[in-house]
Amino acid sequence: MLEEVLSWNPILQAALATLFTWSVTAIGASLVYFFKRINKNLMDGMLGFAAGVMIAASFFSLIAPAITMAENLHLVPWVITFIGFFSGGLLLFVGDKIYDIYEKKHPPKKGKTSFKRCVMLISSITLHNIPEGMAVGVAFGSVVYGLEGATIAAAWTLALGIGLQNFPEGTAVSMPLRREGMSRNKSFFLGQLSGIVEPIAGIIGAILVMKMRILLPFLLSFAAGAMIYVVVEELIPESQTNKKKDVMALFTLIGFSVMMILDIALG
């Protein structure tokens, strides 16, 4: 079976690999089904954990690879990463202001879900998954073009690493949504939906590998900026409303550590 899969066209393998990365996101999101009732301490802890995961992912999964890619493509790394990073944060900043204007005209009903926070959280993780999916697609597509150092084994290793990293990311979306009052089914659905962009981006990356290689450093940095904005604007301030602020900060350290270990160990 394994040999048969490895004999497939690399673009088909890219589709299969990114379906795997999405499925791990869905498994992480499914953790919402294991908690019968909402506990504020637990949910604030998960917000802190999500913040740590996103901070680590922003550097180890996005900015660091963006710098390396920019150098390999003979671009100016600090220029590309700065423009991408600031643009990503600026996009959510503008979206934040637009929603504030909308909310003044249509104030939410008391007790309703904080739609703004949910949208920002989902969009930032989704933006993060697009360049990761493209990176996997580019890895497989590079085999077709016979680019130096491109092998099927290396492409599958990258997919495995990204897939395992997606587990805490799925949880980082679904658990805070559950905390905001969404049903388990809806929290899971939106949590796994943040990862469904990876197969789409992976196929596009495999087909347009030469063009995607140029764009990837910018896209990776862009996603990092969006994630950091959400962490600073929403996740950490909300988790710190808990009376046990020090414990919530510890959850952020734990989330960062888990993601850092996965990124470094799996390369």
Domain boundaries, the chain: 10-25+40-266
Query: 197 with 126: CB under 8 angstroms?
Result: yes
pLDDT at position 143 is: 76
| Conformation bin of residue 67: beta by default, left when phi > 0, alpha when psi is -120 to 50 | alpha
User: String of b and e for 94-128 (b: at least 16 CB within 10 Å)?
Assistant: ebbeeeeeeeeeeeeeeeeebebbbbbbbbbbbbb
What percent of the chain shows pLDDT beyond 90?
Answer: 17
What is the reported pLDDT for 148?
57
Q: What is the pTM of this model?
A: 0.73
Q: Does residue 162 or residue 257 have the better pLDDT?
A: 257
The reported pLDDT for the residue numbered 12 is 86
The closest of 182, 183, 189, 47 to 121, measured between CA atoms, is 47
As a residue count, the chain comes to: 267
Percent share of the chain, pLDDT over 70: 87
Whole-number mean pLDDT of the chain?
Answer: 82
- pLDDT for the residue 41: 81
Average pLDDT over residues 184-212: 87
pLDDT digits 0-9 by tens, 39-83: 678 778 877 888 888 898 888 878 988 898 889 888 999 999 999
Tens of pLDDT, residue by residue over 75-126, are 999 999 999 999 988 988 887 788 777 767 766 565 555 566 677 777 877 8
Contact status, residue 29 vs residue 187, Cβ threshold 8 Å: yes
